[in-house]
Amino acid sequence: MPQLDGKLGIVFGVANKRSLAWAIARALDSAGARLALAYQGERFEKGVRELASGLRNALVLPCDVTRDGDLDSLFERVRSSFGALDLAVHAVAYAKPEDLEGGYLATSREGFGLAHDVSVYSLTAIARRAAPLMEGREGSIVTLTYLGGERVVPNYNVMGVAKAALESSVRYLAADLGPAGVRVNAISAGPVRTLSSAGVSGFVGILDRVAQSAPLRRNVEPEEIAEAAVFLLSRAARGITGEVLHVDCGFHVLGV
């Protein structure tokens, strides 16, 4: 695995040990990075602190990504503790449960706005605050997306539309931040059982379908997604930006 010794990173989206953000945090820690973990709110604090105690000297800080004040104070704490930043991981998404079943047609204006605020705008809000700390350090930002942003996946609905906007944001942010040497990429992960994915109606059926028909005839493991993230965040990927890398056992190549 590429080495990240001495690198300073921030990871958004650890809720529990099943979180893809947690798999990524562990892999970054093993590769030598020192991390700040940003958790959503009080409900998650105890669990995230327990997990973080197994990492090297991690900072654990609250941040609701829909609140500019939270983001400002978080990045101020990171600046005062770390002084700079090399890596940022955005593994955050939310849509109302009623918008993750039935048809997309029923999506309310409020549900559409909420899903896009939490799952899409937050990447831009984070990148804007991270970039100044990455100045002159060849910074790298990675977000997580899903095939439902490219194709219709039953019940994924507004989250699919949000992932399409997230992937487009990756390309625009890559163009904006490239001149400063900061790279922005996405991993399109295959389905993994987590708190968020459990909210998508019929998710277990998706896991079964992928295991039966993906070229590798199985589902992806969180560690495989995490190691791809370490690659994109490392110097090994220094020529790659604006990219969406599928880590899904090949499922996305299938036509039928």
Ligand X SMILES: NC(=O)c1ccc[n+]([C@@H]2O[C@H](COP(=O)([O-])OP(=O)(O)OC[C@H]3O[C@@H](n4cnc5c(N)ncnc54)[C@H](O)[C@@H]3O)[C@@H](O)[C@H]2O)c1
- Tokens for 24? 């990524």
Find the binder of ligand X among 31, 78, 93, 214 (CB under 6 A). 93
- Establish if 15 lies at the interface with ligand X (CB under 6 A): yes
Find the binder of ligand X among 4, 9, 11, 19 (CB under 6 A). 19
Residue 86 CB, shortest distance to ligand X, in Å, is 21
| Rounded Cα gap, residues 176 and 20, in angstroms | 27
H helices within 31-178, ranges in order?
Answer: 42-52, 68-82, 109-116, 122-130, 157-177
Does residue 156 carry a catalytic annotation?
yes
| Rounded Cα gap, residues 245 and 24, in angstroms | 15
- Establish if 197 lies at the interface with ligand X (CB under 6 A): yes
CB neighbours of 77 closer than 8 A, spacing ≥ 6? 36, 59, 61
Q: 39, 104, 146, 172: which is the annotated catalytic residue?
A: 146
- Establish if 189 lies at the interface with ligand X (CB under 6 A): yes
Residue 26 CB, shortest distance to ligand X, in Å, is 13
- Establish if 191 lies at the interface with ligand X (CB under 6 A): yes
Residue 110 CB, shortest distance to ligand X, in Å, is 15
Closest CA to 87 of 25, 173, 30: 25
Report the DSSP pairing between strands 87-90 and 59-62.
Answer: unpaired
Q: 39, 94, 104, 156: which is the annotated catalytic residue?
A: 156
- Establish if 139 lies at the interface with ligand X (CB under 6 A): no
Residue 166 CB, shortest distance to ligand X, in Å, is 8
